[in-house]
Structure 1
Amino acid sequence: MKNSLTFTPLFLAIAATIAPFAQAADTPPADGFVEGSSLKINTRNYYMNRDRRDIHTDDSKEWGQGFIGTFESGYTQGTVGFGLDLNAMLGLKLDGGGGTDGSSILPVGSGNGKAPGSFSTAGGTLKMRAFDTELKAGDLFLNNPVIAGGMTRMLPQDFRGVSLTNHSFDGWMLEGGQASFTKLYNQSGHRRIGTSYGALPAHADSQHLNWAGVSFSSIPGLTSNLYASELKDVWHQYYYDLDYTYALNDWVSLNPGLHYYHTQDTGQSLLGTIDNNTYSLHFTVGVGNHSVTAAYQRVNGNTPFDYISQGDSVYLDNSQQYSDFNGPNERSWKLKYAYDFAGLGMPGLTSAVSYISGKTDLTKVDPQSRGYSAWYSADGKDAKHWERDIDLKYVVQGGKAKDLAVRLQWATNRGGNGYAAVDRDVDEYRVIVDYPINVF
């Protein structure tokens, strides 16, 4: 029988509130429920074109306009303060019919498969703060290595559950929680939490995900994170990272770092046997406004490195615009060059160019594996693929359009020797325009 790992909300609440009492006298007073409140609206215009070159079909083109409104209250006065957060999201289809939809910006409609003209959702979060500890219950926008909402499309992903964070010690952050439902970035309603690459049995999405973690940043230039999670009846997942930036002088800096995940099946093992160790190493040299990064990533296991469906909880160096380079037994290398045009008198304009090459042996995957058999390929002994990414972004620095951001992204992915079955030959273009509005 496999060991069970469970973090109940009650246990997390007790653990996170023990330390803060020692520093209660140093906690600043709350701003007040009304005085500390804010209302922000982000408008995001998103165009995406996916040219699937290997299957000779129409390009998947979608263009939409998104609106994300978030209200965050302050906290009521007193030793224990209470507050309320609200959010509302609306997505409008500007183009994506006639067989051109399906790039994941908009929902896939029922019947004819075309995206609806609009989709929307709204939610709220009750919150409580005592000393240096904050408890939230409701709709959560999470961002950590084991559960992070997808932010790469027109609307963000959120989760429904409970979370706790604690900042009692300078340079330390402790957090934990439980989430049972998620709203995917191109859907209106909530659904049970699933996985990105594994095919869970019908009607068997995991009931919930528990997580706990600690972040450390009290040493200048050094950050580190340690997290553990349990996706019920699917996996236990553990994560560790270490990142250090050392400035040789005002002009040159060195930045080594690593990310490591261990994933092990648990409970009913709904995705079958999982024993996966995945890591990535990077080294960046910064010279003025230039930087060059070399990265190596390795997946040790006969299943791909997997994570929460549509989420961004894949904190690996070679997770790119199109591919995560996370196939079973995959090894990948990356070279990236980035430049900040502030060096040419154009602050707000940044760019990056990356090339990544991956290789794996897909024949080692169990063709009878529950959930991951799609990765099996009889001719995938030396399966290969590569991706080239170009990223250009400009943020307006002042005036009435201050903080307006325009981003252009282009990715080219090519696969061979059996890899095309799971990572297709694709040219993908994205144009993203963000305009944040601070109402108050």
Structure 2
Amino acid sequence: MRRTSTVVLWAIGCLLAGPGTAFADFIADSQGILNVRNFYFNNDYRDQPGPQGQSKLREWGNAFMLDLKSGYTDGALGFGLDALGTLGVRLDGGKGNHRGSSMFPDDSDGAAVHEFSRLGVTAKARLSNTELKVGTLLPKLPILISNDGRLLPQTFEGAMLTSKPLDSLTLVGGRLNKTTGRASTNDSGLAVAGGRRESNNFSFAGADYQFNKQLFLQYYHARLEDYYDQDFLGLVHTFPVTEGQTFKTDLRYFRTRAEGENDSAQGRAAGYTLSGYGDTPGRIDNDTWAAMFTYSAGGHSLMVGYQRVSSGSNFTQLNQASTGEGAAGASTYLPTDRFASSFLRAGEDTAFGMYSYNFVASGLPGLTASVGYYRGAQIKQSGAPDAQEWERDIIVDYIIQSGGFKGVGFGLRNAMLRSGVPSDGAQDQTRLVMSYTLALF
């Protein structure tokens, strides 16, 4: 709360420093949106007992997310203020159906709490084509993605600068020091999976370049102090085959190396360590590349791909699973970051494919469906043979197009995982989501 109060006071001071007429655009360009999400989550671990002894997780909740965004004060240098208030309410899933902090924080008796809420504030400033945001952030970058796979989204605290010196070029940079997990009201420091010591310095910079209508290029560098340095290169090319048909190529490469304490045996022993197999236990040393090819024609889309994770260590990005505070759950910019598995273990080779269909081509706008299959092999395990895993995903989405319920969305996610890695084993997962966005002003 101390950081949030500081941001609020700073923003108010900036606003009051200007003349009264400066508030015209600040108010006129303001937006208020209420997002409502009803989420049912069921995960059957197939007789693998959890911390409370149960092998099934079944929870149901409703989320209310109030997103307020101001405009900017008038003048060459404009100031603004955003706020994000969230509330999660448990509808079902008490003790016996709750396994760790997945959807809701843990209560004192090991059950899920009945409700939890947060308030995030972001001060912002804009000069020409450059914007600075300080406070609560939800980044969507190749080197960091805010996880939104449960009732409430994961948020981060820090500063981010975005500039567009050219229409085709976007530059991004920033520094983050805290995160609030998707099932928590308290923030925590930053770490990687298995890391028991927190870092408060994640810095990054990158560039997005739209070379032409067909070619999009990206480069990013990120550094989590005392854990890793990471470079990312990305290329997306869309080739128009004929009218209504395209062939898309998506290439991604990550190079991740140990930094600071993680690069020393003493530091890893002190808790700056990475979970999973590695040539040097706990040390981050990884190269991961992926290639996806998508052919689209009419409402049909067929994607095939391959991903290779080197054997030095697991692929890694920010993951606070070992820091507590309901911080479990993180996203990565890998095409294999799926519902039950992410296929990012040391040595893992993954072949995958997905078929999608947009029913607007059949006269049913708003309805889409897809089925995907992912198979990983050569997973390195300490003292055991290389393991394999596979996941099958089914996705169905529908948004009502007209009438009194226009804009209400329904989603089904069903995943089946079978893994030779003991910590994953077998899982059958189902998610049902109903969502609606209401513009308040």
TM-score range, shorter chain: 0.7 to 0.9
Q: 1:164-223: per-residue Cα shift (whole Å, max 9, x none)? A: 00012011110110010111111112111222xx2113xx21122001111112410222
1:2-401 equivalences under 5 Å are 32-55=25-48, 57-102=54-99, 104-195=101-192, 198-201=193-196, 204-269=197-262, 270-271=272-273, 272-309=282-319, 313-363=331-381, 376=382, 378-379=383-384, 381-401=385-405
* Native 8 Å contact 2:100 2:106 kept in 1: no
Distance in structure 2 (CA, Å) of the matches to 1:178 and 1:391: 35
Query: What is the TM-score when the length of structure 1 is the normalising length?
Result: 0.86
SS in 2 for 1:214: strand
CA shift for structure 1 position 387? 0.4
Query: What is the TM-score when the length of structure 2 is the normalising length?
Result: 0.85
SS in 2 for 1:97: coil
CA shift for structure 1 position 401? 2.0
User: Percentage identity across aligned positions?
Assistant: 32
CA shift for structure 1 position 60? 0.3
Q: 1:43-81: per-residue Cα shift (whole Å, max 9, x none)? A: 000000000014264410010000010110000000100
* Native 8 Å contact 1:277 1:300 kept in 2: yes
Distance in structure 2 (CA, Å) of the matches to 1:184 and 1:249: 45
- Structure 2 equivalent of residue 439 of structure 1: 440
* Native 8 Å contact 2:178 2:187 kept in 1: yes
Distance in structure 2 (CA, Å) of the matches to 1:120 and 1:62: 17
Flag the 1:312–1:219 CA change in 2: closer, same or farther, 3 A.
farther
Q: 1:86-142: per-residue Cα shift (whole Å, max 9, x none)? A: 110000000111310127543342432101100000021111001110011111121
Distance in structure 1 (CA, Å) of the matches to 2:33 and 2:186: 22
SS in 1 for 2:213: coil
RMSD of Structure 2 on Structure 1 (CA): 1.7
* Native 8 Å contact 2:152 2:182 kept in 1: yes
CA shift for structure 1 position 31? 7.2
Q: 1:322-351: per-residue Cα shift (whole Å, max 9, x none)? A: 111111100010011000011110011000
AA in 2 matched with 1:303:
S
Distance in structure 2 (CA, Å) of the matches to 1:69 and 1:263: 37
CA shift for structure 1 position 288? 1.2
Flag the 1:398–1:171 CA change in 2: closer, same or farther, 3 A.
farther
Flag the 1:140–1:361 CA change in 2: closer, same or farther, 3 A.
closer
- Structure 1 equivalent of residue 7 of structure 2: none
Alignment size in residue pairs = 391
AA in 1 matched with 2:195:
L
SS in 2 for 1:268: helix
Distance in structure 2 (CA, Å) of the matches to 1:80 and 1:147: 29
